[in-house]
């Protein structure tokens, strides 16, 4: 492996995955023909499907599932904890045992614009488009365009893209 890649042995890479420099992957699964941009981190127990594009400076945390044919723009952040705290009631630093991963699902064909924040416990529907800079706080239905803070539905996609591969 390249000296500028940090890929743990626990990572499952599909066929023809394209990896940029300065990435950090551990305990995750990346599907066939997916492209991962520079400065991306994908944590354990996260899954990225086939033929996805994960653009630079994106953070995909534990508990995130990204299905096939999804576009994720630059500097997108996924969140897996609704009420994060550094210490418990006893004042001690929290560990993994002190919290439960909250899941996020991005369905096939969805697109997430640059600079978005995707909060925990949401599903972004098939072929949905999330506009750049949006904060997704609740589920996005399939074939909808959402944007804003918080992201709201602005229109329906009349003819969703059909992927034949």
DSSP string, the chain: --TTEEE-TT-EE-TT-EE-SSEEE-S-EE-TT-EE-TT-EE-TT-EE-TT-EE-TT-EE-TTEEE-TT-EE-TT-EE---SS--SB-TTSPBP-GGG-----EEE-TT-EE-TT-EE-SS-EEPTT-EE-TT-EE-S-B-TTEEEETTTTEEEEE-SSPPPP--
* Percentage above 70 pLDDT, the chain: 95
pTM for the whole thing? 0.92
Q: Which pLDDT belongs to residue 2?
A: 62
pLDDT tens per residue, range 45-83: 999 999 999 999 999 999 999 999 999 999 999 999 999
Whether 1 has a pLDDT exceeding 60, the answer reads no
Report, as an integer, the average pLDDT of 28-48. Answer: 98
Report, as an integer, the average pLDDT of 119-131. Answer: 98
Of these ranges, 5-19, 24-38, 82-96, 150-164, the one predicted with the greatest mean pLDDT is 24-38
Q: Which pLDDT belongs to residue 124?
A: 98
Gap between the Cα atoms of 5 and 24, Å rounded: 7
């Amino acid at each position: 492996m390249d000296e500028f890649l940090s890929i743990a042995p626990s990572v499952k890479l599909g066929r023809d995955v394209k990896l940029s420099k300065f990435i950090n992957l551990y305990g995750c699964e990346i599907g066939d023909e997916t492209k991962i941009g520079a400065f991306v981190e994908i944590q354990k127990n996260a899954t990225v499907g086939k033929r996805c594009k994960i653009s630079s400076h994106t953070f995909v945390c534990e508990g995130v599932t990204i299905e096939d044919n999804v576009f994720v723009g630059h500097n997108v952040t996924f969140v897996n904890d609704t009420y994060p705290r550094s210490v418990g009631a006893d004042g001690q630093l929290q560990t993994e045992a002190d919290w439960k991963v909250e899941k996020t699902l991005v369905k096939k064909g969805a697109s997430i614009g640059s600079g978005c924040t995707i909060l925990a416990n949401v599903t972004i529907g098939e072929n949905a488009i999330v506009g750049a800079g949006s904060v997704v706080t609740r589920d996005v239905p399939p074939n909808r365009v959402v944007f804003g803070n918080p992201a709201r539905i602005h229109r329906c996609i009349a003819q969703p893209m059909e992927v034949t591969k």
